[in-house]
Amino acid sequence: MGARAGARPPAAAGLITRVEVVARRGPGGRTVLPVVRGSGQLAVRRTGPASVHLVATAFGPLGGDDAEVRLVVEEGATLAVRTVAAAVALPDRAGDRPSAQRVVAEVAGTLDLRPEPTVVAARASHRAELVATLAPGAVLTATEQVLLGRTGEEPGRWTGTTRVVVGGRPLLHTTVGLGPGAPAWLPPVAPRAYASTVHVGQAAGVLTADDAVRLPLENGWVATAWGAELHRVVRAVEAVA
């Protein structure tokens, strides 16, 4: 929580953001949050007994910024994580470094991670990563919503990696690259908007739609949709989720 709103270090340094939230099963089975800690660009607000909102305290991220959000959900506990507004990833002022955000989650209980969209401005490059390590029986829902370019703007570049490990075995590991320069972002399918949800806890089979697909995982599924407009894409991914 050390960052002052709007304050930024010299451009070359890049802002370091660290968030940590621990959810624990408390007396009577209710979840308590013994650790709720934010620094750099993100503050953490408790918005319910088992939920937090991440609040940006500076604009960005900018290229060169580095954020890590560490989430621990112990057995029997539940944690919901939200953000209050879309994040707008902006270009590096000093060069062409990407901004990075890693979510590292250790889940033995239930984690529900649904941030607002990430908008990647023209010439910006953003790298998002989710590494979720689940105990057997853990429940995870994690969503991602991406829009390349603000209104009327050229698309930026986004790379998103998701790795989910359950009981020591890799369940899902994918990296999606979007935007100019991403090798597989080629006409005729080069979408500006992308949404994805991964769920572990309840199985579901294959479902296909126009520019959307749900794939089964052991005891879970992953749904993906893409297109020109984010609101349509979000509806599409919810339709196959």
Residue ranges in contact with other proteins by CB under 8 A: 161, 163-164, 169-177, 183-184, 186-189, 196, 206, 208, 211-213, 215-217, 222, 224, 226
> Which C-beta is closer to other proteins: that of 60 or that of 158?
158
d(CA 119, CA 176): 16
Task: Report in angstroms how near the CB of residue 240 gets to other proteins at its nearest.
Answer: 10
Of 23 and 237, which CB lies nearer to other proteins in the complex structure? 237
**How far, CA to CA in Å, does 223 sit from each of 51, 85, 215, 217, 227?**
24, 23, 6, 10, 14
The tokens describing 78, both together, are 């539940």
Asked if 191 contacts 227 with a C-beta cutoff of 8 angstroms, the reply is yes
SS3 122: coil
Shortest spacing between CB 171 and other proteins, in angstroms = 6
Note whether 96 and 14 are within 8 A (CB). no
Residue placing its CB nearer to other proteins in the complex, 2 or 175: 175
Beta bridge mates, 141: 112, 199
Shortest distance in whole angstroms from residue 205 CB to other proteins: 9
- Kindly state the smallest distance separating residue 216's Cβ from other proteins, in Å: 7
Nearer to other proteins, 104 or 217 (CB): 217
